Structure 1
Amino acid sequence: MDSKNTERMFASIDGMRVEEILRYFADDIEFQLGNNESICGKDAVRQGLTKFFSSIKGMRHSFSGIWSQDNVVICQSVAEYARMDEKVVALPCVSIFKYNGSLIIDYRVYIDISPVFA
């Protein structure tokens, strides 16, 4: 749950490397991006991430803060998304991770992702 582990995970996210990302998750992970329905389980998250990553050219997070307490990590960032039309959209974002041991069991991304697809 240290900030270095979080930074490594976000390097995998920004690289859109689904299988690397999944290594950080428990089998029964619950994941929610923005106002989308939450999805449960690694297979569902694999499918969701693969679909999302296929809809953008790239992404990058710039952090303004990473905080942890007990088994929770909160990350505040600006997420930059490279759209298929080559435009880059920068959006404020907060991600909250809940851990069970070394694996994430709950991952919530608070963002309005709609400008990426506008």
Structure 2
Amino acid sequence: MTVASETPVDVTARMLEAADTDIATFFSMFTEDCEFRLGNNEPVRGRQNIQEWVSGFLGGVAGLRHVILEMWSDGDVAAARADVTYSMQNGATFTLPVVTRTRVRHGQACEYLIFMDPGPVIAASTS
């Protein structure tokens, strides 16, 4: 559900909640032309391409839980600092620090950048 009157902080908070509870809703919160980037990976453009990339990245992940530590915004951009706990399909669980930066247009993310070291997720997915 998109609510155009929401602030960028509201949208970002809903996105992190949806990432934990309803991945289809998470993906629906991107504009069709959204730019997405995780860590030092190449940017991914377009909702469908983002969904495919994230699905591949999260292949070994059974669940996520974000705990937002702080959020702020300026204009159409919001940033969130959080701890994200990954529960892996192999039984491993670990928590990583993350910062997301979301640019919002008409209640949806048109740019979504994740600043996190994805190495532990990749390593746990392959072990």
Q: Say whether the fold is shared (TM-score over 0.5).
A: yes
Q: What is the TM-score normalised by the length of structure 2? A: 0.83
Of 17, 20, 25, the residue aligned with 1:14 is 20
Once residues 109 and 12 of structure 1 are traced to their aligned partners in structure 2, the CA distance between those partners, rounded to angstroms, is 15
| Pick aligned residue for 1:40 from 20, 39, 45 | 45
- Contiguous gaps of at least 5 residues in structure 2: 1-6
Runs of 4+ more than 3 Å apart: 2-5
Summarize the alignment of residues 1-118 of structure 1 with structure 2, pairs less than 5 Å apart.
1-15=7-21, 17-118=22-123
Q: Contact conserved, 1:18 with 1:50, CA < 8 A, in 2? A: no
Q: Give the number of the structure with larger relative contact order, counting CA–CA contacts within 8 Å between residues 6 or more apart.
A: 2
Give the superposed CA RMSD: 1.5
Aligned residues: 117
* Long gaps (5+) in structure 1: none
SS of the equivalent of 1:117 reads helix
TM-score, structure 1 as length reference: 0.89
| Alpha-carbon offset, residue 22 of structure 1 | 2.1
> Percent sequence identity over matched residues?
26
- Letter of the 2:33 counterpart: D
